[in-house]
Amino acid sequence: MTPRSLVSVCLTAAAACGGGTLMFTASSLSTVPPKDAYTCAADEAKKIGYRLRAHDDVDFRVVAERDNPNIKEPTGTYIRGFDRLEFTMEPDASGKTSVAVKAQSFKESVTARGNNLDEIKATSQAKADANSIMAACAAS
């Protein structure tokens, strides 16, 4: 193995093992039909201050966002920080509903080329909100 290929292998291995993921994901099974779980997730998200950014009542998918004042950036280009929750409901082979959630957090800033969106590690609030909505809708 040449020194150049050895460096390439080491860098690839380091990239694959380091950092982890920024988003938080979870899933559960519910006894309610997908449509009811979908409606529940949308309603629960709105109750705790999220705005629905996208919803699909055919594939039972909800995307909701809420500004998070705890995300801060000490630069003059910073606009806002926010949390995003994405719920997907699908019928399971066992007759139950599979409920999956992805929680993400972002910092938005402005550059000379326009707005820039940087994903950061999901906040503890986004994770807690995702879990509380899943728990509420699994029991519906």
Q: Which domain holds residue 60?
A: 22-138
Nearest residue to 35 via CA among 97, 95, 85: 97
Q: What is the pLDDT of residue 138?
A: 79
Higher pLDDT, 80 or 76: 80
Domain-located, residue 17:
no
Inside any domain, residue 35: yes
Class of residue 130 by CB neighbours under 10 A (exposed 0-12, middle 13-18, buried 19+):
buried
Percent of the chain at pLDDT > 90 equals 67
- Can you give the pTM of this predicted structure? 0.82
The pair of three-digit structure tokens given for residue 90, joined into one six-digit string: 């699908």
> 95 — alpha (psi -120 to 50), left (phi > 0) or beta?
left
Q: Decide if 11 is inside a domain.
A: no
Residue predicted with more confidence, 4 or 94: 94
Q: How many separate domains does the chain show?
A: 1
Residue 64 within any structural domain of the chain? yes
Look up tokens 């500004």; give the residue: 67
Say if residue 107's pLDDT is above 60. Answer: yes
Mean of all residue pLDDT scores within the chain: 85
Q: pLDDT grade, residue 20 (50/70/90)?
A: low
User: One-letter amino acid identity for 64?
Assistant: A
Q: How many CB atoms lie within 10 A of CB 17?
A: 8
The 3-class secondary structure across 41-82, one letter per residue, is HHHHHHHCCCEEEEEECCCCEEEEEEECCCCCCCCCCEEEEE
What CATH number does the domain containing 130 carry? Answer: 3.30.530.50
Is residue 87 a part of any domain in this protein?
A: yes
Q: In this predicted model, what pLDDT tens digit does every residue of 27-71 receive, in sequence order? A: 999 899 999 999 999 999 999 999 999 999 999 999 999 999 999
Whole-number Å distance between alpha carbons of 28 and 109: 35
Nearest by Cα to 123 from 99, 140, 107: 107
> pLDDT at position 112, please?
85
